[in-house]
Amino acid sequence: MDIAGKSVLLTGGSSGIGREIARQLKAKGARVAVTGRDKARLASMREEGFEVIEADLSSAHGVDGLIGDLGAREIDILINNAGQGVDHDFRVERPDADAADVCIYANLDAPIRLITALLPRLKARPEAAIVNVTSGLAIAPRAGGPVYCATKAGLRSYSQAIRAQMAGSNVHVIEALPPLVATNLTAGRDGKMMPAAECARQIVAGIESNSKEISVGMVKVLQLVNSISPALARKIMLKF
């Protein structure tokens, strides 16, 4: 896909991986609108020349508000990048079920609702793409983050199913699977983390090549292990 001139809606685009994707797409000539919740970060993106839309995608009300703010604009690429984490470890304390619901909505329900609403206008474009940012944890979960991992696994399955539905159409369905990346979401985590800019570079390259799956960094190794032994992949990842 030639990114130049494409109109992009990028959720969660004011920080982390999303911010770097936005910058790299803009550098390649795309028109990028980013969503986010933090007013200061959105203001910073506006200063960089991006259109910004304040949106909290952790509820149907927030998603529908975003859809309303979009009006009838043309969209060539929808990137579902916004996501939230949640502490959910019974070994530490009783988890907050309400916080889990918020995470589930933001990470899984919101992308589904956005795709459902925006697919007709994507189909109306000469060439279009849906990019769902999941995680290497969609392949095999870690014990300390069961809800987050479940949402990413759910979005992975959804991506695979709608890709089959879109076969032969103008809409490419792409899944991006980042590894552990240095962002606000992973602050305080141990382990070597990929810089957000490099993660974004690999994702943008995958969009340009119309990849079905973009396994970023060490996720390539996890994919290989999983192809040989899913049980071994789970055993390795559950330790984290």
43: helix, strand or coil: helix
Q: Which of 212, 176, 208, 209 is nearest to 194 (CA)?
A: 176
- What's the pLDDT tens digit per position in 63-104? 999 999 999 999 999 999 999 999 999 999 999 999 999 999
DSSP 36: E
* Cα distance between residue 208 and residue 193, in whole Å: 25
Q: What are phi and psi of 98, to 5 degrees?
A: -65, -40
As beta bridge partners, residue 176 has: 133, 214
Domain ranges of the chain: 7-237
111 in Cβ contact with 162 (< 8 Å): no
Residue listed under structure tokens 């055993």: 235
110 in Cβ contact with 57 (< 8 Å): yes
What is the structure's pLDDT at 228?
A: 97
**pTM across the whole model:** 0.94
- CATH topology (fold) of 7-237: Rossmann fold (3.40.50)
What is the structure's pLDDT at 185?
A: 67
55 in Cβ contact with 62 (< 8 Å): yes
- How many helices (H) and strands (E) the chain has is answered by 9, 7
* Cα distance between residue 41 and residue 133, in whole Å: 20
What is the structure's pLDDT at 239?
A: 84
Sign of CA dihedral 97, 99, 103, 109: positive
What is the residue type of 177? L
Residues of the chain under the 50 pLDDT cut: none
Q: Helix 16-27 crosses helix 196-208 at what angle (to 10 degrees)?
A: 50
Say how many CA atoms lie within 13 Å of 129 toward its Cβ. Answer: 26
- What's the pLDDT tens digit per position in 9-26? 999 999 999 999 999 999
